[in-house]
Amino acid sequence: MKTNLVYPILTLAAALTGNCLAAPPALDPKNPILEEFSSPDLNVSRFYQYNVGNAKLVNALVQVGTKAKPKEEPKLNLTVLPDFTNDDFVSAELLTGYPGYFQNWEMTIDLTNSSGAGKDVGCGFMIFNEADRRDFLFVEFYGIAGVKAGVLVNGKDAAVGKLSAKYIFPKGSIRVRFNAVSKLMTFSASIKDKSEGYKWYKIGTFSPTGQGGVVRANWKMKPTGQFGIQLFGFGHKKMVDLEKVTLDNFAVKALR
């Protein structure tokens, strides 16, 4: 991948520490996290936004087709200003519920990318070991240029196996399910979004224990460990207007 995510994640860790935020709360089984980004601004009580360069994540209405058609509900939009840099990066970290290593849980997100910039503009998410942010996985969505995923240990590519999926459409949805017994994350993708009715197909599995799964890497997580989640967007020497790259219908919930 072109984006150096290690630096933003480690810098974000320092930023969060510097802001003296409380210890991350565990995901409440009775209260799923549902975020449709429908308020005028990003919910700062739920997300911590961190920027490198001139990228931002903003809630904005998205026009459907021509101007004669009504607008959709707001979505989280990636924007990069005209005075772009070589690497513009922005993340929004979830603050209100860290899924546990000891829990069955699920995360879903709808993504669009009609930038036409190939792999120079993307959006996606990261899931990391809360106890050591150098252990993380990422999924990047490039629209018609496809999807890329990777796993790092101690900030270095160390995973066995690969997760990948290619799309011929500028939108898609990703689902991640974690099984507390098998310790496997199962990744699925859908070309249809929430409003159209998801139709999932399996991409592969990841094991943070280093055993089993299509992708394996030992994050050495404790039984009481937790996972952090970040949404992100980036651009490489590219301006990104509203409506080109969006994230929507973010949900995290505990499963039985």
Q: What is the CATH number of the domain that holds 47?
A: 2.60.120.200
Q: Does the pLDDT at position 210 exceed 70?
A: yes
pLDDT confidence tier of residue 6, bands split at 50, 70 and 90: low
Higher-pLDDT residue of 204 and 164 is 204
* Average pLDDT of the chain to the nearest whole number: 88
Comparing 10-24, 33-47, 77-91, 209-223, the range with the smallest average pLDDT is: 10-24
In a domain, 1, yes or no: no
Encoded tokens for 155 = 């900030």
Q: Does the pLDDT at position 66 exceed 70?
A: no
In a domain, 16, yes or no: yes
In a domain, 124, yes or no: yes
pLDDT tens-digit readout, 11-44 = 555 555 445 456 679 999 999 999 999 888 899 9
Confidence (pLDDT) at 11 = 55
Confidence (pLDDT) at 227 = 97
d(CA 11, CA 7): 6
Confidence (pLDDT) at 22 = 62
Most confident of 106-110, 151-155, 209-213: 106-110
Domain total for the chain? 1
Q: Does the pLDDT at position 3 exceed 70?
A: no
Taking a C-beta distance cutoff of 8 angstroms, is the pair 191, 171 a contact? yes
In a domain, 57, yes or no: yes
Q: Does the pLDDT at position 111 exceed 90?
A: yes
Higher-pLDDT residue of 86 and 63 is 86
In a domain, 52, yes or no: yes
In a domain, 241, yes or no: yes
In a domain, 109, yes or no: yes
Structural domain harbouring 244: 6-255
Question: Nearest Cα to 254, choosing from 102, 106, 34?
Answer: 106
In a domain, 21, yes or no: yes
pLDDT tens-digit readout, 115-157 = 999 999 999 999 999 999 999 999 999 999 888 888 999 888 8
Q: Buried b / exposed e across 196-226, counting CB within 10 Å, b at 16+?
A: eebebeebbbbbbbbeebbbbbebebeeebb
